[in-house]
């Protein structure tokens, strides 16, 4: 059996793809690069916005044609699988099995049943130990940093968000488990880990998230720790202190704001006001000047007025985020925001999004320009130059680095090298290997 996994969505989903891949490899299956070469295609889906869902259905359409030509097993997993469950079989009858996000370890059983000819095989159960996935099984992509689950699920209830439905309530991995995995990763040569959760800073696996960062940082040989993603209400002074003082925790914080208007935040049930968000950023003190900050913003949430939107632009400027991810509000099935009146024309929402993204571009360019002339450590992420002649790397601040390397020199994959920043574009920094 040859299998191909196509993954959409966040790092959590990407990491689920690595776990699923490990399960199939343990069965003796072989991973292949394309769906065309595969006997089994697994679509590891995202449903955060309608666009993500469209991509899945269009790939399912393509696979239907493929399946008419030759034997092929098609499985759907990830957030759309958890959300739609059996309804997926109605919409796309050529799907052989559906695997929910909280039942990953059931994959081999589902594949076996589908191979025996059983139709419409499904498991979308909530297995309480899903987050205790054996690290030895996970088959990691060839990346310079290793993804490590610390919590799954989310206990917040933002009115626009499908994630509490698709990922369930919070489950925390015991601290010792996390530490054991990180030690194993370092022994295998990884120097950087990214701790994952829908809301990492509500971590409660035997210690606080701030404590977990400190304990992970004590692992010898580990150089950098990142984490994603955080909720402002769980951002504590203690966490800010660790961020600012622990040399292994990278100087980068992604803290989703969503809107700069208190009225909108209230309807989103974000549990904070703009002032409270800013107060929490203030916990970083003067250490903040050495860090980069990014955020998520939703434009055109039901009832968002011109004034609300202008307030968002003002906060964007005030914080001067180094980067932001912004999206037009996308109504999701079963979410509470569906009940809110949403009468703003899509054309107006698009104009707002374009304005916000233009504003961010200016801020990001300024943020990048501040790096020009500095020499900073960056981690090499490619085994050779890309087709453009650069090597790819990232800095601790999560700046994308296009690294120029003299012929004959080979910066080691996954290691830190010194880079002199020579050029700033809005999307990357040009640098020379020192
Ligand atoms: N519509 C638009 N954006 C959304 N996000 C989450 N749900 C929605 C939605 N229904 C955004 C939020 C979140 C990011 C991961 O995706 O900004 O932080
Ligand atoms: Fe997409 Fe959210 Fe699911 Fe990640 S958790 S795959 S972003 S819907």
Domain 375-433 in CATH: superfamily?
Nucleic acid-binding proteins (2.40.50.140)
pLDDT tens, residue by residue, 358-379: 999 999 999 999 999 999 999 9
Q: What is the structure's pLDDT at 54?
A: 98
Strand order in the sheet with 73-78: 30-31, 2-7, 40-45, 73-78, 97-99, 121-123
431: confidence class by pLDDT, cuts 50, 70, 90: very high
The Å distance, Cα 5 to ligand 2 centre, comes to 16
The answer regarding whether domain 143-250 maps to CATH 3.30.750.210 reads: yes
The whole-number pLDDT of residue 111 equals 98
Q: pLDDT category, 120, cuts 50, 70, 90?
A: very high
- Which ligand is the nearest neighbour of the Cα of 295? 1
Q: How many C-alpha atoms does 399 have within 13 Å on its Cβ side? A: 31
The alpha carbon of residue 400 and the mean position of all alpha carbons in its chain are separated, in whole angstroms, by 16
Q: Does domain 255-370 have CATH number 3.30.750.200?
A: yes
Average pLDDT over residues 234-263: 98
The 10s digit of each residue's pLDDT in 348-360 is: 999 999 999 999 9
**pLDDT of 335:** 98
| Ligand 1 atom 14: residue of nearest CA | 296
Q: Residue 197 CA: which ligand is closest?
A: 2
* Residue 19: closest CA among 125, 113, 112, 147: 147
C-beta neighbour count of 156 within 10 angstroms: 17
Q: Note the pLDDT of residue 418.
A: 98
CB distance 40 to ligand 1 below 6 Å:
no
CA 151–ligand 2 middle distance (angstroms):
14
**Tell me: the pLDDT tens digits for 290-302?**
999 999 999 999 9
Percent of the chain with pLDDT over 90: 100
The residue whose CA is least distant from atom 5 of ligand 2 is 163
The domain limits of the chain are 2-123, 143-250, 255-370, 375-433
On the CB side of 22, how many CA atoms lie within 13 Å of its CA? Answer: 17
The CB of 156 under 6 Å from ligand 1? The reply is no
φ/ψ of residue 257, rounded to 5? -95, -40
Whole-number Å distance between alpha carbons of 359 and 348: 17
Q: Which tokens sit at 323? A: 């980067």
User: Residue 237 and residue 125: Cα distance in Å, rounded?
Assistant: 37
- State the pLDDT at residue 104: 98
Q: Residue 281 corresponds to which tokens in the numbers above?
A: 């950023």
- What's the start-to-end Cα distance of the chain, in Å? 46
Ligand 1 near 232 CB (within 6 A): no
- Ligand 1 atom nearest 296 alpha carbon: 17
0.85 cut: is pTM over it? yes
Domain 2-123 belongs in CATH node 3.40.630.30: no
User: Atom 1 of ligand 2 has which residue's CA nearest to it?
Assistant: 46
Q: Which tokens go with 13?
A: 């989903």
CB 169 within 8 A of CB 156: no
Same fold, 143-250 and 375-433: no
User: pLDDT by residue (tens digit) across 39-79?
Assistant: 999 999 999 999 999 999 999 999 999 999 999 999 999 99
- Distance (angstroms) between ligand 2 centre and the Cα of 233 equals 20
SS3 110: helix
């Amino acid at each position: 059996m040859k299998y191909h996994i196509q993954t959409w969505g966040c790092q959590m989903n990407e990491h689920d793809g690595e776990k699923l891949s490990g399960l199939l490899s343990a069965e003796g299956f072989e991973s292949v690069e394309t769906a065309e070469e595969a006997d089994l295609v697994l679509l590891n889906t995202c449903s955060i916005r309608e666009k993500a869902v469209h991509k899945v259905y269009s790939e399912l359409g393509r696979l239907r044609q493929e399946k008419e030509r030759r034997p092929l097993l098609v499985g759907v997993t990830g957030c759309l699988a958890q959300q739609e469950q059996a309804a997926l079989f109605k919409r796309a009858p050529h799907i052989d099995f559906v695997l929910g996000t909280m039942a990953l370890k059931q994959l081999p059983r589902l594949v076996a049943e589908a191979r025996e000819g059983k139709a419409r095989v499904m498991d979308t159960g909530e297995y309480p130990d899903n987050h205790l996935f054996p690290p030895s099984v996970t088959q990691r992509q060839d990346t310079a940093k290793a993804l490590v689950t610390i919590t799954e699920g989310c206990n917040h209830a933002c009115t626009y968000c499908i994630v509490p439905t698709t990922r369930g309530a919070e489950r925390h991995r015991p601290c010792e488990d996390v530490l054991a995995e990180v030690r194993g990763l370092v022994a295998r040569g990884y120097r950087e880990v990214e701790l994952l959760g829908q809301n990492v800073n509500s971590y409660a696996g035997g210690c606080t998230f701030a404590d977990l960062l400190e304990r992970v940082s004590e692992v010898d040989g580990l150089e950098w720790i990142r984490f994603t993603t955080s909720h402002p209400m769980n951002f504590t002074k203690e966490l800010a202190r660790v961020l600012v003082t622990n040399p292994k925790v990278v100087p980068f914080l992604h803290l989703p704001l969503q809107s700069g208007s208190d009225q909108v935040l209230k309807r989103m049930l974000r549990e904070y006001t703009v002032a409270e968000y800013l107060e929490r950023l203030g916990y970083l003190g003067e250490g903040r000047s050495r860090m980069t900050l990014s955020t998520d913003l939703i434009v055109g949430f039901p009832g968002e007025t011109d004034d609300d939107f202008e307030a968002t632009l003002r906060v964007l400027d005030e914080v001067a985020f180094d980067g932001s991810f912004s999206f037009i509000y996308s109504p999701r099935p079963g979410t509470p925001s569906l009940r809110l009146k949403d009468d703003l024309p899509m054309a107006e929402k698009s104009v707002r999004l374009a304005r916000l993204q233009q504003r961010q571009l200016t801020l990001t360019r300024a943020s990048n320009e501040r790096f020009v002339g500095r020499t900073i450590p960056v981690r090499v992420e490619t085994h050779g130059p890309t087709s453009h002649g650069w090597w790819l790397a990232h800095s601790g601040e999560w700046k994308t680095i296009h690294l120029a390397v003299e012929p004959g020199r080979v910066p080691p994959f996954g290691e830190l090298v010194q880079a002199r920043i020579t050029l700033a574009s809005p999307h990357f920094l040009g640098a020379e290997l020192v």
